[in-house]
Chains A and B, each alone.
Chain A
Amino acid sequence: MEHIVRTNRLTKAFQGQEVVSNVSMNIRKGEIYGFLGPNGAGKTTMMKMMTNLVKPTSGEIEIFGEKLTPDSYHFLGRMGTIIEYPVFYDKLTARENLELHCDYMGYYNKKSIDEALELVNLIDTGKKKVKSFSLGMKQRLGIARAITTKPELLIFDEPINGLDPLGIKELRDVFRMLCKEYGTTLLISSHILGEIEQIADTIGVIQSGRLLREITMAEIHEETTNYIEIITSDCSKAAYVLTDKLQLNNIKVIDNQFVRIYDQHIAQSEITKTLVLNDVVIDSIHKRSSSLEDYFMQVLNGGGVRD
């Protein structure tokens, strides 16, 4: 598959202190790349280097198949970005800001401004100046601005900051739609794992300036373990029934509230039947795979003990 962004041993130091070290990252065309890392891990600096706001100390970046030099700027016309937090000319209205954006980008399809505002639910802001927008509204306007010109690559730094749950869901749908219908490639950074897990195709984990792992979601699903979780008021009895009657050894009781069964060979219906027959009240039972959170914590902890 063709790569849209590649970095090779990218390093950036500020006053001798490395904030990004030797990062080699590969973003494929048409995918959603989730960029995960705790605060201060170097995500924003990476994104700033990709947009040429910050120049690398060493290493190189290739975007749309071309190597970036300190004075390249044409590639920026094919990108939409929010870096750090969205900034606007806050004495202007949402529409005026987007109009300016289109003029600077050399994009003259004014209809797309309405489409973008509609997509992020900001079409009714009228004469309201951006100054009086809430953080969530600014965030959505930032996304509208980035997508108005239908760019090939979108770089979003923590795009769901300050959004309410409904807004988050809507955005998730927008991201998926952009990726599926327009073939846009998205690079989204976040420290909220659950979010990235739901939309990303590939995940890059960065900590202290180092890319610890770059892995596709499909691979993660293979790596992470599945289990059946039972919620019951009588955990000890349930555990006894499971070990004694069903000969299951690989189970775990958590906080005296859940029982997790890691044995893969037994059917959920069989477990339910046996527990009910032995008078164990089941509040709920379902199959779970350990979340990305567990995986992420593992990677980070693994990363933490390095030299």
Chain B
Amino acid sequence: MIKLMKLELRKFKIMGYIRGAAIANVIIFGFMMLMSYTPELDGTTVFRDYSTVFSMIDVFTRGTFIIFAAVLLGRFVIDEFNHKTITVLFMYPIKRQKIIAAKLMVVIIFTFICIVISMAFLSTVFLIVNAFTHFVPGELTMTLVMQQVVKLGFNALSACFMALIPLYFGMRKYSLPTTIVSSVIIVMLTCSNNGGGFNLNDFIIIPILLAFAGAAIGYMAIRKIDQIDIN
């Protein structure tokens, strides 16, 4: 399985996607900086306290990488069907389930790592800048950091499974646009912020249900794959 996953990474030149993820991080950071300076312009406060900062970082990274995962699913799974390269893959002496499972694992793991690293990176950089500029009022306590680590870790985990949901829609007609649009809808549902720093993802049951739905969709994509005709 590890070998199959390595081959997937080689085949799709994963370095390009890592570069993409890095650029996304820089953009998110720039955006957060802009938001930090807003109060000086119109007097409103975006970052009321440190937990708002973490929840912003959480929303931005999950939102970005759920859509990023849809792009990966498109390239790794849907395009293989679209370009018929799947016929080549399915003519190797390897169980079809294993081939698809390896692809999904790559997407899940890559998304998870991206979200975790981005959260860590953005938090660190923001806190460093904040040490000089003091955007955020209040105090950063160890308890708060620990709480946020657990919360963000859980969110990252649920997000990387949630990110498989677009596969269901995308595989119906092997369509890349459908995949990406459905991921945007998921992001709108779970990462939208109504101004109070509150979103659907904060009801603990919602991310759990969506993560299970994603896992179930992944399982369904694999389960009967060796029975179907590849035309």
Q: How large is the interface on B (under 10, 10 to 19, 20 to 34, 35 or more residues)?
A: 20 to 34
In the complex, identify which listed stretch (A99-107, A164-172, A268-276, A290-298) lies at the interface while the others stay far away: A99-107
Selected from B7, B96, B230, the residue in CB contact (under 8 A) with A54 is B230
Minimal beta-carbon separation of B91 from chain A (angstroms): 5
**Chain B, Cβ-Cβ closest to A105:** B92
Per-residue 0/1 for A32-58: is the Cβ within 8 Å of any B Cβ (1 yes, 0 no)? 000000000000000010011111000
From known contacts A76-B92, A76-B93, infer whether A53 and B87 are also in contact, taking CB-CB under 8 Å. Answer: yes
**Chain B, Cβ-Cβ closest to A92:** B11
- Residues of B close to A7: CB separation below 8 A: none
Q: Contact at A87–B93, with CB atoms within 8 Å?
A: no
A91 at the interface (CB under 8 A from B): yes
Which residues of B line the A interface, CB within 8 A? 3, 7, 10-11, 13, 83-85, 87-96, 226-227, 229-231
A81 at the interface (CB under 8 A from B): yes
Q: Contact at B7–A104, with CB atoms within 8 Å?
A: yes
The complex places the Cα of A105 from the Cα of B93 at a distance, in Å, of 7
Q: Contact at A71–B95, with CB atoms within 8 Å?
A: yes
Which residues of A line the B interface, CB within 8 A? 48, 51-55, 70-71, 73-77, 79, 81, 83-84, 87-92, 100-101, 103-106
10 contacts between A and B (CB under 8 A): A53-B91, A53-B229, A71-B227, A73-B96, A77-B93, A79-B91, A87-B85, A88-B85, A91-B13, A100-B7
Q: Contact at B94–A83, with CB atoms within 8 Å?
A: no
Most buried by A among B3, B89, B231: B231
Q: Contact at A71–B85, with CB atoms within 8 Å?
A: no
- A contact face: mostly helix, strand, loop, or mixed: loop
Q: Contact at B11–A55, with CB atoms within 8 Å?
A: no
**Chain B, Cβ-Cβ closest to A90:** B83
Q: Contact at A73–B230, with CB atoms within 8 Å?
A: no
- Residues of A close to B91: CB separation below 8 A: 51, 53, 76, 79, 81, 83
- Residues of A close to B94: CB separation below 8 A: 73, 104
Q: Contact at A55–B84, with CB atoms within 8 Å?
A: no
Q: Contact at A87–B83, with CB atoms within 8 Å?
A: yes
The complex places the Cα of A80 from the Cα of B202 at a distance, in Å, of 53
Q: Contact at B92–A87, with CB atoms within 8 Å?
A: no
- Residues of B close to A87: CB separation below 8 A: 83-85, 87-88
- Residues of B close to A81: CB separation below 8 A: 91
